[in-house]
Structure formats: structure tokens, C-alpha cells
Structure 1
Amino acid sequence: MTSRAERIPQKTHKPLRSRLYALARWLHLYASMLSLLVVLFFAATGITLNHPEWTFGTTTTTHTYTGTLPQSWQQNGQINWLETAETLRAAHGLKGRVSDTRADGQEASLSFRAPGYAADAFINQADGSYTLKVVAQGPLAALNDLHRGRDAGAAWAWVIDLSGGFLLLLALTGFTLSLFFRKTRTAALVTALVGALVLLGMMWQTR
């Protein structure tokens, strides 16, 4: 008759190799699922960035507006940039972040920037009259600017950083997984070495 202690299954510790393999596989699987759309986006826009001669989706429209700001936009020679920007935004449906404010006593200017979008206002400080030029590029140009991180804001900068981290994790876990398979380990290492040498050679040629 067996005792109660003997009937309780004993926990066995898996070897370190098995635990490393399971961790690498888990990280690789879920990181790839989380970053799938990110990889597709940066892969596609990387190709379009490399071919500026492709013109589909890059149609540019330009509009010029004129008007006069309310008197409160400037008091005692001091410009209320926030009110000025919001007045222009409301009047003309502008988008993007405000940047490049400038004033020299005669003319003031400010710009609105977003991916694939630019609006520049030039204001006569004597009477508040302004000329506004709005340039809107097509959706492909906007996507290319997102790839670069141009005029996309701090939140998108975090997206780019996190995307880079996920891609780095995918590469490292994928390389780690290849080391666990004896039959293909040598071929994987040789392929990685050849790929690294080719990349370094191409980088050297661009100098």
C-alpha cells in the first residue's frame, strides 16, 4: 500500500535549455502578433520612400486664403500666438501642430505642420491682414512622412521607438530559436554571417 506522499506527483524542474527555448518561442510568437501591422506598415512605406518617382497617391493641392485677424491678436506689440493660431485654425479648418512662430515688428508668421500637410500664415503687424498658404499632399506622402516621423508629434515618436524595440525583439528571439535546432543551426549561422557581410559591404559602398 502506497502512502499519500507517494501518490502526490513530484514537480520536476525543466532544464535551462528547455526553459530558454520556451521563453524565446513565447516572446517571438506574441511580439510578432503585436507588431504585425507595424512591420507591414514600415515595410511598405520603406519601399515607397525608396521610389520617389512613384506619383500615385501624391497629388498636391494648394490653396491661398486672405483675411484680417481680430484686434485682440496683438496688444502693445505683443502677439498672442495661441489666439492667433486658434483663430486661423477655426477660420480655415487648419490641422497639425503650430511651429516656427516669428515676428520682426512689421510681419509675423506662423506655420502648421502635419504629415503630408503644411500651412504658412504671413501677417501684417500694422493692420492684422494675412495671407495663408495651405499645401496638402496625397495620402502616400502623408504615410511616407509618418515613416520618417516628420511633423507627427511626440506620440508617434513613441510608436516608432516601440516598433523598433519589437523588431529588435523579433530578430533576437528568432536568432535564438534557430540555435536550438541542431540540423539547421550551422546553416542558420552561416546565412546570418553572409547576410551581415553583404549588408556591411553595401554600407561601405555608400560612403
Structure 2
Amino acid sequence: MQADVAQKKRSFWLKHLYRWHWISSAICLVGMLLFAATGLTLNNAGHIESEPVVSKKSGQLPELLLPRLQQKQAENAPLPKVIADWLAGAMAIEAGGRTAEWSDDEVYVSLPRPGGDAWVVIDRESGVLNYELTERGWVSYFNDLHKGRNTGLAWSWFLDVFSITALVFSITGLCLLYMHGSGRPATWPLVAMGMVLPLLIAILFIH
């Protein structure tokens, strides 16, 4: 009787562990492939050559919008919405909601992005604007996704969900190892090596 109870309990946990293990692996599969690949590119960034591509634009703010630009603003206030909308529609420059640096003569908006950088500066008196975009290529883009650099709130949420899912995948895998480890003598030495090796490298070779 006790053996039957133990077997049912084991079957119950195996069923649920397998279920959560494959569900979590399916959810985080693409993310794990992306982060593994970008881990290699980040670790070998010095060996991957890329030439930044710089493009520039210049333009003139419509006279009707100049009074909005010339109004007194807080030092780090964003651009007025009407000006940000004009930049997006006429110049394909997305500056809405970004912190701007206001001085007596001009307003400067930094527009960092994954894999590149950009900025726009507008003369407050004349409305003359200059825009510069630097693109560092796809490798830099995916490296910045890995680091969560300048990726916005939605990607930050994705990273949190991915991290939780990866934890579920790892923990359920460890539990499955525990339940099947008795029949595989090499299981725990391999687990121990996976734990001890990074620690030894950090102690011996990282100063």
C-alpha cells in the first residue's frame, strides 16, 4: 500500500514537472537562443568589426510653431507635443516624450536606440534644426537587446518575463534530475562541475 502511495505521488510530481518544464522551454526557447548567441558576440566584441553608418538631416521648423519653441521651458522638459508631432510627420524623427535640454539659444534632444545613437538640436530663435543618426549594425543591435540598453519599457517587461520563465525551466529541470538521478550515476558530478567551475574561474582568474 505504501509503495502504491509513493508511486502515485512520484507520478503526480513527474507529470507536473514535465508539463512546466516543456511549457517554460517552449516559451523561452527563442529568447535563450538569442541570449546565447549575443553572449558570444558580446564576449568577442573586439573581434567583430563594424563600421558605424552616420546619416544627417537638416530642416526648418514652420514659423507657426516658433512661438511654442520660444516659450519658457523647464530645463529638462520634453518638446511640446505639436513640435514633436511635426518632427515625426515631416522629418521621421521620433522625439516625443524624450527629455530635452533647453538653453537660451537651442533645445537638444538625445535619441539613443539599440544598435545606434541619434540626436536633434533646434535653434530656438530661427527654428533651424539638425539631426544626426549613427547606426552600428545588427550585431550591435542584438547586443543592446541582450543588455536591455535603450530598449524601452516593453522590452524591459519581456526581459522580466523571460527571466522568470528561464528560472522555471531551470528549477523544474533540477527537480527532474533529482527524481531520475538515482539511475544515472554521472548526474550529480556533472551538476557539481557546472556549479564549481564558474566559481573556480572567478576565484583564480578574475582579479
RMSD after superposition: 2.4
Give yes or no for contact 2:106–2:124 (8 Å, CA) kept in 1.
Answer: yes
Structure exhibiting the larger radius of gyration computed from Cα positions: 1
- 1:18-41, CA deviations, whole angstroms, 9 ceiling, x for partnerless residues? 211211111111211222111111
- The 1:101/1:155 distance shift into structure 2, 3 A limit, reads same
Q: Which TM-score applies when normalising by structure 2?
A: 0.82
Q: Does 1:206 align with 2:206?
A: yes
Q: 1:49 and 1:96 mapped to 2: Cα distance?
A: 29
Q: CA deviation at 1:96?
A: 7.6
| Within-5 A mapping of 1:10-159 | 15-55=8-48, 58-71=50-63, 72=65, 73-78=68-73, 80-95=79-94, 99-159=98-158
Q: 1:33 and 1:159 mapped to 2: Cα distance?
A: 15
Unmatched 5+ stretches in structure 2: none
Please identify, of 144-153 and 107-116, the stretch whose mean Cα deviation from structure 2 is larger.
107-116
- The 1:60/1:89 distance shift into structure 2, 3 A limit, reads farther
Give yes or no for contact 2:120–2:130 (8 Å, CA) kept in 1.
Answer: yes
Please identify, of 66-75 and 88-97, the stretch whose mean Cα deviation from structure 2 is larger.
88-97
Give yes or no for contact 1:99–1:113 (8 Å, CA) kept in 2.
Answer: no
Report the 3-state secondary structure (helix = DSSP H, G, I; strand = E; otherwise coil) of the residue aligned with 1:179: helix
Aligned length: 194
Q: CA deviation at 1:92?
A: 2.8
- 1:145-194, CA deviations, whole angstroms, 9 ceiling, x for partnerless residues? 1111111111111111111112111111111111122221x532222122
Q: Which amino acid aligns with 1:127?
A: S
1:163 aligned partner: 162
Unmatched 5+ stretches in structure 1: 1-11
- The 1:49/1:98 distance shift into structure 2, 3 A limit, reads farther
Give yes or no for contact 1:116–1:139 (8 Å, CA) kept in 2.
Answer: yes
- The 1:158/1:52 distance shift into structure 2, 3 A limit, reads same
Q: CA deviation at 1:117?
A: 3.0
Q: CA deviation at 1:98?
A: 5.2
Q: Which TM-score applies when normalising by structure 1?
A: 0.82
- The 1:117/1:132 distance shift into structure 2, 3 A limit, reads same
Q: Which has the higher helix share?
A: 2
